[in-house]
Structure 1
């Protein structure tokens, strides 16, 4: 693996922005200094660009195996790398679901051969696989995923004793999708009675309501407190849920944490008329006040990390009526550009973006030697030119599904280089697939 020297970068790292050079050797960061002489290494002139740690996305759905008409690990990891995401943690609601160690290792084998980004996979909880879940090794599996609300794949865990046992015995992070299924089912029947098969898409946040989110999240928090479990609630979508979380405890000491996703802060219920099913997610995009509340939670540290919940479906699937159109959409290629737009709008600092999308994910999951720009750490790095706007067009997309909810928008910044474990995987729009990403390991 060749050496790489990055010169004159504005490095955003550990609460500071400063101009520096970075030398990469043998996949790791060898030296960080104000000036490092060039002596034959691959040279990247980063003048006028920001250098960030590569983003670690703790929630993606890459659809392999079994749902590869929507996406696969190869295509979506490339899209991630093009967006500055160097590591991902992928969800178990594939086909078949990843609810056994055997199925989990099959995914790792696919990623080893095809993933351009670094990777880890959750093992999925069901109503009857607790013994299998507890076999997962905390040192090389990111966590346990439990659906306390059903979504794509219908892996709902609704057995009270199963949940109690899981929260009592789990030795690693429990990442939970929280929506109250009976409440949602009741809401859906009311709207179906009113509209038949033509439920307007803008009813989605009323069907998958704020109340359904809060009901399930509060139940999960109560379970975690009762059993002392390590709980991470995914994709917070309401302002009200913020009252469930603390911001006066250091992250390393928190037992209950929360995640925000970029789409819940970018879109609102006012966008359903234009975007329709292409912004239909579970949990639903809700009001502008909810989106602002989620962003406020990021800023005041009630919400600990930023991710995407990248979850593609085909255009054909998304073109169905409300009851048949699946929830989810592709996001990994543009999440960092979304955050840079927020920065340009004065909504968030670059230091806070790096804290929430890089440092804190590494702290929360105990990721070994990633998430920071430090000597001796793996060289997972991204360069951003915030003076080079980029329009989202179909031709610019790397997703297998071929669409994006951001089509037509011009972002204020561009991702110019992405380095994954010391390999220059993406440079000025071109991929180098000759070296694959690595399996994440965890200091647990």
Structure 2
């Protein structure tokens, strides 16, 4: 359904720290008007009655791995962006560790071309830094690319940046957000060797957070922050997993003025090491899911604004790959379809408000990456909007899981809330579990 003019009536609008009853008029790609009551001006207006539902800005996921090019047996931009739309995520920023890696401007543009043809959601990509591609980094147009991604641990291929001189040069050379994966490789290698000596390759999964330990995370993230403070770089630390790391960040200044920011992912807020017995390698992530105490401290830092963003680190692998013994089972899992429902479940449990969910999943990624005209319900902004029914339970099963890999770490979980409608750039692209045939996705742009 592709009406040029849509009127959403009687919604509970969640935006900028408030919830209010109102109507939203969409003309073309944009939000034209927000008011307590808007009357349709002509018979051509498509009116959607949202009585009893909550209207949220579309979520912006700042960290996904959609596996294209080169790893498309696991996932691709088309399948995973479609799952994202069903989960209320309307924009994504995808990571550079594909095959080939996104470490040249040419390879970056090839990914943009794929997304322009196949993506269901708005898209941008991070550019990957290596020990030897500073010349390529300097060619980037800062208004056309989401940011720079550096692996300071747990990298694939040659993407581990472990030369201190190169690292400092990169930090000094760009005004873009530098997003980092922080785990100390030396610590992990030492811990892994000890466990292989004891167990062989079939290490019990419960030792994953001991191998990829708090020490490994803290050592790496504290060094990255020290370097950012020394060079004045704009640093964003991905997927915090330990309580100790949260003390490295501040809530004393507004996000727009922060030079050093942090993200937490859904799995580190939901699972703990007590879940390894039941879930096994299906909740093997890097950094590892750690203790209940770590999870509690991550929640505390999220709610007091030391942590700025909630993301997914969506990183699918096939079931067969995940069923391997510990040393051969890859880390990562699919999350974009279930991230917002999981956070809404936490709202039902009294852990977080709807306003705070919107702040961390919609507003703050837009502020942090300076995304142009998205992340809010505002007149003149793109109409990326999500309607949610907070009392429409459903259970995650294989048959309603949309990831190409065909599984979810949430399988068997019943969520109370359901995404009923997703609008993308003014078009209704998803309604009551059905997708329209409209491709309205756009390349994200940035105001820098």
- Tell me, in whole angstroms, the C-alpha distance in 1 between the residues paired with 2:445 and 2:417: 31
Q: Is the 8 A contact 2:314 2:336 kept in 1?
A: yes
* Aligned counterpart, 1:6: 8
Q: Is 1:335 matched with 2:334?
A: no
5 Å-filtered alignment, 1:37-116, equals: 37-38=39-40, 39=42, 40-116=44-120
Q: Is 1:123 matched with 2:127?
A: yes
Q: Is the 8 A contact 1:6 1:43 kept in 2?
A: yes
What TM-score results when the alignment is normalised by the length of structure 1? 0.99
Cα deviation 1:179-233 (Å, max 9, x = unaligned): 0001000000000011112200111000000110000000000000000000000
* Aligned counterpart, 1:413: 417
- Tell me, in whole angstroms, the C-alpha distance in 2 between the residues paired with 1:190 and 1:134: 41
Cα deviation 1:141-181 (Å, max 9, x = unaligned): 00000000124455211011110100111120000000000
Look up the SS of the partner of 1:12 in the other structure. Answer: strand
Task: Select which of 276, 282, 289 maps to 2:286.
Answer: 282
Look up the SS of the partner of 2:192 in the other structure. Answer: helix
Task: Select which of 256, 261, 267 maps to 2:265.
Answer: 261
5 Å-filtered alignment, 1:141-156, equals: 141-153=145-157, 155-156=159-160
Report the count of equivalent residues: 444
5 Å-filtered alignment, 1:230-309, equals: 230-309=234-313
Q: Is the 8 A contact 1:151 1:282 kept in 2?
A: no
* Aligned counterpart, 1:170: 174
- Tell me, in whole angstroms, the C-alpha distance in 2 between the residues paired with 1:16 and 1:243: 29
- Tell me, in whole angstroms, the C-alpha distance in 2 between the residues paired with 1:64 and 1:433: 22
5 Å-filtered alignment, 1:191-202, equals: 191-202=195-206
What TM-score results when the alignment is normalised by the length of structure 2? 0.98
Q: Is 1:354 matched with 2:362?
A: no
Q: Is the 8 A contact 2:130 2:158 kept in 1?
A: no
Cα offset for 1:35?
A: 1.0
Task: Select which of 24, 27, 45 maps to 2:26.
Answer: 24
- Tell me, in whole angstroms, the C-alpha distance in 1 between the residues paired with 2:294 and 2:429: 37
- Tell me, in whole angstroms, the C-alpha distance in 1 between the residues paired with 2:329 and 2:201: 12
- Tell me, in whole angstroms, the C-alpha distance in 1 between the residues paired with 2:405 and 2:76: 10
Q: Is 1:206 matched with 2:223?
A: no
Cα deviation 1:66-104 (Å, max 9, x = unaligned): 000000000000000000000000000000100000000
RMSD: 0.8
Q: Is the 8 A contact 1:152 1:326 kept in 2?
A: no
Cα offset for 1:248?
A: 0.3
Q: Is the 8 A contact 1:114 1:436 kept in 2?
A: no
- Tell me, in whole angstroms, the C-alpha distance in 2 between the residues paired with 1:25 and 1:287: 48
